């Protein structure tokens, strides 16, 4: 199977912040790709030339500077951080599976499930989130006047409180993939062209882009009746630090929990792949 990571430097705001973020999270990124390769699968990286200076030290099967794409230069705001991931989706063939750089696939069972469902599903995602805390309410109300005439009430429902978590996402149907990507680009580029609109968005908030990346995908599959494989059971979105399934060997780290677990992540990488651990330690010392 073919997996891919993506990392776009622009949402980090500055080159220095991008470098610091990567160095701080490098052990986790390396552990994520290590487990894919450990179980005999291919993993590639889609990034830009800025981030590649750090990430090209990791043993990906291939590294593509896909995110130097001229179309991404149209995004004047950093709030649409998933645009880089969507650009990577465009470049990958059907059947490739995107995993976030903070997702670990530790056991063969998770790969078996993904392989066994090929040919019967249009999409695989991590899980279904039920928005019990109103996380999507503000972005939903913000975006509604600008896109309702184009997408509602068909594909985009503004009364839905469910979304797909895309920590893992793989497209197996060309129609679904093309429809999702084209609408994401159209909506985000529409919003990006208005400085007045962008001034109303908190640049540190991820809620708007999560709504467009995750809730839009759920709406689209519902409307068209696509068959979706959810790797994990449905859950509410009340704040969690990590999504974990020990039976599958699946872990997805969230936000500040990565920093809290940093020493455990380092120990795990040292145990799993001592040579890669040493290489990363040396790189961090050199860059600092």
Average pLDDT for the chain:
86
Rounded CA gap, 68 and 255, in Å?
Answer: 26
Up-side HSE of residue 166: CA atoms within 13 Å toward CB? 25
Q: How many domains does the chain have?
A: 1
> Tokens at residue 112, please?
């078996």
Residue length, the chain? Answer: 288
pTM score of the predicted model? 0.91
Give yes or no for a contact between 100 and 84, defined as CB atoms under 8 angstroms apart.
no
Percent of the chain clearing pLDDT 90 (strictly above): 52
pLDDT in tens, 84-132: 999 999 999 999 999 999 999 999 999 988 886 667 899 999 999 888 7
Which residues of the chain form beta strands (DSSP E)? 2-7, 42-47, 62-64, 97-99, 103-105, 123-130, 162-171, 228-230, 235-236, 242-245, 250-253
> Burial level of 215, CB count in 10 A (0-12/13-18/19+)?
buried
pLDDT of residue 249: 94
CATH number at residue 19: 3.90.550
| Cα dihedral 174, 130, 106, 169 in deg (nearest 10) | 10
DSSP notation for 35-98: HHHHTT-EEEEEE-HHHHHHHTTS--SEEE-GGG-GGGGG---TT-TTHHHHHHHHHSPTT-EE
Q: Which domain holds residue 65?
A: 2-287
CA distances from 1 to 95, 98, 141 (A): 8, 11, 39
> Burial level of 135, CB count in 10 A (0-12/13-18/19+)?
buried
Give yes or no for a contact between 177 and 89, defined as CB atoms under 8 angstroms apart.
yes
pLDDT of residue 206: 60
pLDDT in tens, 204-225: 556 677 778 888 899 889 888 9
Give yes or no for a contact between 60 and 44, defined as CB atoms under 8 angstroms apart.
yes
What sign does the CA torsion over 182, 185, 190, 191 have? positive
Evaluate if residue 152 carries a pLDDT over 60: no
pLDDT-based confidence at 276, cuts 50/70/90? very high
Rounded CA gap, 125 and 116, in Å?
Answer: 15
CB atoms under 10 Å from CB of 126, counted, come to 23
> Tokens at residue 211, please?
């709504």
């Amino acid at each position: 199977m073919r997996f891919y990571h993506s990392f776009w430097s622009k949402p980090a705001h500055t080159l220095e912040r991008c470098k610091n973020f990567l160095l701080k999270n490098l052990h986790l990124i390396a552990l994520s790709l290590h487990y894919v390769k450990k179980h005999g699968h291919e993993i590639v990286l889609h990034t830009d030339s800025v981030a590649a200076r750090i990430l090209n030290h990791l043993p990906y099967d291939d590294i593509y500077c896909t995110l130097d794409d001229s179309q991404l230069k149209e995004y004047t705001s950093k709030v649409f951080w998933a645009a880089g991931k969507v650009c990577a989706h465009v470049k990958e063939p059907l059947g490739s599976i995107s995993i976030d750089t903070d997702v670990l696939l530790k056991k063969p069972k998770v790969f078996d499930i993904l392989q066994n469902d090929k040919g019967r599903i249009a999409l695989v995602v991590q899980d279904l989130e039920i928005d019990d805390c109103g996380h999507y309410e503000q972005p939903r109300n913000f975006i509604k006047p600008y896109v309702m005439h184009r997408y509602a009430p068909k594909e985009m429902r503004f009364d839905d409180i469910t979304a797909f978590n895309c920590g893992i996402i793989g497209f197996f149907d060309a129609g679904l993939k093309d429809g999702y990507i084209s609408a994401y680009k159209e909506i985000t580029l529409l919003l990006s062209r208005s400085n007045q609109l962008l001034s109303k968005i908190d640049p540190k908030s991820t809620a708007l882009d999560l709504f467009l990346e995750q809730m839009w995908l759920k709406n689209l599959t519902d409307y068209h009746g696509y068959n979706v494989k959810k790797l994990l059971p449905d859950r509410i979105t009340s704040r969690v630090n990590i999504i974990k399934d020990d039976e599958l060997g699946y872990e997805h780290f969230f936000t500040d929990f990565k920093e809290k677990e940093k020493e455990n992540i380092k120990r795990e990488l040292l145990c799993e792949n001592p040579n890669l651990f040493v290489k990363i330690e040396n790189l961090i010392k050199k860059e600092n």
